[in-house]
Every structure is written in structure tokens, then in C-alpha cells.
Amino acid sequence: MAELTLLEAVNLALHHEMEADSNVVVLGEDVGDNGGVFRATVGLKEKFGLKRVIDSPLAEALIAGVSVGMASQGLRPVAEFQFQGFVFPAMEHLMCHAARMRNRTRGRLTCPAVFRAPFGGGIHAPEHHSESVEALFAHIPGFKVVIPSSPQRAYGLLLASIRSNDPVMFFEPKRIYRTVKSNVEDNGQALPLDTCFTLRKGRDLTLVTWGACVVESLQAAATLSKQGIEVEVIDLASIKPIDMNTILRSLEKTGRLLVVHEASKTCGVGSEILARTAEHAMCLLKAPPKRVTGMDTVMPYYRNEDYFMIQEDDIVLAARELVEGWK
């Protein structure tokens, strides 16, 4: 067992699954010789050769289309888009073919493909390098959408995604690629793709978050604990399907819900969680549910980036309003 960064855990999972299954192939821009734009695929081409680690042209539509063809014919492609904001040229292949292959062929063909992309702000990059548009893909029938927030979960969830017989959008929070570390055992054990992870127990408030915002959420929970407010922190991890059972069980105990995400507020995944809570657990709530989110605007350039990004203090303030303002 070694202490790894989230980026290294992704690389370890790719190595493990390519070793275990000769049908797994990796493709994308600079994934071979350069080891990927963030070096997530370092060492793969040297170990598995150019027929299984394929450098593509700068053409996201091509990457997606070739991946769909590979997957429908028995391979398990893991395609990399350099940034989530570069995915849009590939949308026709993703929405109209990858997500619909099983239904269109009445189960005769499936699309066991993983589409990886770093996402989110906080690294002083331009706006199209800093997108958080996971909600777009959660709205598409046929996709699973996964966002890890720790090295252990990145390893286990990526293994499960590669082994899935349906397409998975696997978004990696690049702000914490190298800053979050934990011990990861290369044991080949996958994690479920339909389950939340409770990271901290609490009695006063349920905080649901995902991606890089997990860091600030845990920091805020520690601060609030010193103020007498115990927050239960849940890493959603699976954006689709959403594990509402875990969230509702927590609400039975706390009666208060706070959702934190970096993406824009309007029609975000937080809206779906609040809507389902209203449908199934309104009577459990002691206060109206609340969201702390990014703004309904394009990510600003780096000098103003902190105004968009969620800070620990934002979460602490919202939590105190939920607990103290509705006693």
C-alpha cells in the first residue's frame, strides 16, 4: 500500500485494468508519448504498446466516435478529453450513439466505454479549461456520471467504470489532482457506481457535496464542530444514479440539508437533490434545504477566480443559517 495523489491513483487503476483485461485500450490527445496533459497516462504506452495506447489528433469528435465503434465491437476503450470544456465537439457521438447503443439495438450491442476528463476551476486556467457541467451529462439517459474526490475512490470507481457494460462519464477534479493524498492498495477492488460515501458523521446537518468541494466541506465541518454544530458530510461520488437512500437516512437524523457544488446553481445537480428531497422527505426537514454553488456565469479569468470558487467561510455561513436561523 502506497500513499498516492488522486492523479497517481487514476494512473494505477489504468495500469491494473489494462494488465487484467487485454480488451482495455486508452486513447486521446497526447496520452501516449507525453503521458496525458496532466500525466495521468504516464508509462502506459511503454508497458502496453502503441496498439493499446493510442495518440489521437486534436479532434474530440473523432475520439468519441472511434471509442463508440471500439466499444460496440468488444473492446473497452478509456478515452481522455484533455479538459471537460473540450467535450462539446464530441456531444453527438456521446448523446446520440454511446448513450443510446443498448436501447437502439435492444441489448444486442452495448457501449462499455469510459470518457475521462479533468474538470473544475481553481488552477488559474481560462474559462473553457475550468468547466463544471456534470449536470449536462446527468440529464442524458444511458450515461452513468462519476466524480471521485480522493485517491482511494478514484482508483475503485475507475476500475468499476471500466468494467461497466454501459458508458461512464468520469470527471476528475483537477484542482485536487496533486494536493489530496491517501493510501491506496492496488488490489483490483472496485467500488459501487451507485453509492454515496459518508465521510464524517454528524447530528445537526447533512452536507452533500462532490469533487474538489469535498475539501472545503470537510474543513467547514471541522470549523463548525468547534462551534457546537456537528455536520454529516456525504460525498455524492455518483452523480448519476444518485444514491438518495443514503441522503434520506442522514436526513432522518439531522433534518437539515445543505448541498455544495462548484457548478452553476440553476438546473445543477443540487437542484435535483433538493427536488427529490421535497418529493420524498419534506416531513423530515426542520428547515428549508439550502445550496452553496458557483455563480450563474462563465468562470472568470484567474484574477477574479476566487470570487467564483466556493470558500470554507461560504459553507460555514450557510450551515449556521440553516441550524441557528430555524431553531
Catalytic residue among 16, 129, 261, 280: 129
Residue 291 CA to residue 155 CA, distance in Å, equals 29
End-to-end CA distance of the chain: 46
d(C-alpha 12, C-alpha 271), whole Å: 34
Among 319, 317, 318, 299, which residue's Cα sits nearest to residue 309? 299
| Spatial separation of the C-alpha atoms in residues 264 and 270, rounded to whole Å | 10
The Cα–Cα gap between 253 and 185 comes to 33
129 is catalytic: yes
Q: CA 268, 235, 10 angle in degrees (round to 5)? A: 100
Q: Residue 119: CB partners within 8 Å, gap ≥ 6?
A: 83, 84, 131, 132, 133, 134, 147, 171, 172, 173, 174, 211
226 CB burial (10 A radius; 0-12, 13-18, 19+) = exposed
Contact (CB, 8 A) for 27 and 67: yes
Residue positions annotated with a catalytic role: 129
